[in-house]
Amino acid sequence: MIGLPPGTILQSLYLREQLTLKKKQGKKKFIEVGAGNGFISKIFLDLGFEGCGYDLNISACENNRSINSQHTRSGKYKVFNKDFIDDKEILQTDIVISCMVIEHLPNEKLSNYIDKCKKVLKEEGTIILIVPASMNFWGIEDEIAGHIKRYEFVDIRKIADQFDLKIVNIRGLTYPLSNILFQLSNSLVKKNESEKLKLSQQERTVYTGNRKIKYKTEFPKLFNVILNPITMYPFHFLQKMFSQNENSMVIYAELGKTIK
């Protein structure tokens, strides 16, 4: 498997910890919206969850099926190349997760998305949102990806209030490593993807399901020696230590239904 970016590894380390707790609580099923190449779904599946992934990018769906082929063959995982919001045949689930998705959605579609999540969640279910954070770090990558905004902690709290959800957990991730690498990251994006600015906002959104930039979104296998969960663990410790830092470039949030 190709090497993953350091920020992705840090997010995965935190997510794996949280999902391990969810599994112990009896959670079994998940839906990933904007599943891309399937790396987030793979974390769920490796921990014993069953579920499905949705993405609008055809090639990303094909990669997802390949990466998670063992689970698609066994029937424990399905990949759908369609819009989660429009699918009327979704079964109830324990977790709906989106990673780098809702920052693409205008207010009306965000409302539709959260309403759909609440509809398919079981009573004790959880919505997990992983979003780019802090408008102080708005850059060319946000433009390329078709983002509408970067989120602040207060924005997540507003979503919870608006949709009658309770905040179960909210943390900033990847600080300080992503902040240190920010300028280098923007330089790589500018060099490799500037032509994508000619696309429409919707086209850029679909494109991000399967971006390929060497030393940015993927690394040669050789880099697995230095970019892996073990070598990155000190930075994982740091991101947990500074999890309430307003300059965190990623926010992880768990939202649950309020009991009436």
Encode the chain (260 residues) as per-residue pLDDT tens digits. 456 789 999 999 999 999 999 999 999 999 999 999 999 999 999 999 999 999 999 999 999 999 999 999 999 999 999 999 999 988 899 999 999 999 999 999 999 999 999 999 999 999 999 999 999 999 998 998 889 999 999 999 999 999 999 999 999 999 999 999 999 888 887 888 788 777 777 777 766 656 666 656 677 777 667 778 999 999 999 999 999 999 999 999 999 987 65
**52: nearest Cα among 99, 84, 25:** 84
pLDDT, residue 195, reads 81
pLDDT, residue 259, reads 62
Instruction: Give dist(CA 200, CA 83) in Å, integer.
Output: 18
Residue holding tokens 């078709």?
146
Cβ–Cβ under 8 Å, residues 50 and 91? no
pLDDT, residue 166, reads 97
Cβ–Cβ under 8 Å, residues 209 and 55? yes
Enter the pTM of the model: 0.91
- Encoded tokens for 198: 């000619």
**128: nearest Cα among 6, 250, 260, 5:** 250
pLDDT, residue 186, reads 85
Residue 167's Cβ-side half-sphere holds a number of Cα atoms within 13 Å equal to: 16
DSSP 209: G
Whether the link from the prior residue into 6 is cis, omega within 30° of 0, is no
pLDDT, residue 19, reads 98
In our burial notation (b when 16+ CB lie closer than 10 A, e otherwise), range 169-195 reads ebbbbbbbbbbebeeebbebbeebbee
Q: Any idea what the Cα angle at residue 169 is, between residues 163 and 175, rounded to 5°?
A: 115
pLDDT, residue 198, reads 77
- Please report, for the chain, the start and end positions of each structural domain, with discontinuous segments joined by +: 6-257
Q: Domain 6-257 is in which class?
A: alpha beta
Instruction: Give dist(CA 226, CA 213) in Å, integer.
Output: 18
